[in-house]
A = this chain, B = another copy of it.
């Protein structure tokens, strides 16, 4: 998703019947500019200096609204916490167990899975892989 100015962000939300509050716009803007699969805490830490009154509850609320409206996708790659990803094309996630970074990779879900699930209605697909990334592999 391409960066947007304030007016664009505002209409983006309005079009989806989400009232474009200051906090929601800031969170959306953060997600568009930071494709790092952030956690709620990542978002909080990044925005708190700009919005000192910001509460994590608001971030949770906002992300839940965004998820319901398919603006973001919840990523279950870690047992204990959710990460969020602005919805673009379908892709998988690779988490490096050394540097902890999460990478995107292309994937064609139809090929592999959908033929085994004939007759099922597929709503959300998620593919997560853990391993060691190229960089960390070369360091060792």
Contact = CB atoms under 8 A, between A and B. Distances in A.
Interface of A: 74, 76-79, 82, 92, 94, 97, 105-109, 111-113, 116-117, 119-134, 137
Contact of A106 (B78, B92, B111, B116): B116
A113 B128 CA distance: 10
A92 B131 CA distance: 18
17 contacts: A76-B79, A76-B128, A94-B120, A105-B117, A106-B116, A107-B112, A111-B111, A111-B112, A117-B129, A120-B133, A123-B129, A123-B130, A124-B130, A126-B127, A126-B128, A126-B129, A127-B128
Contact of A120 (B106, B121, B124, B132): B132
Given A120-B94, A129-B125, A131-B121, A77 B79 contact: no
A107 B127 CA distance: 11
Contacts of A111: 111-112
Contacts of A116: 92, 105-107
A134 B120 contact: yes
Given A92-B113, A129-B122, A137-B119, A79 B79 contact: no
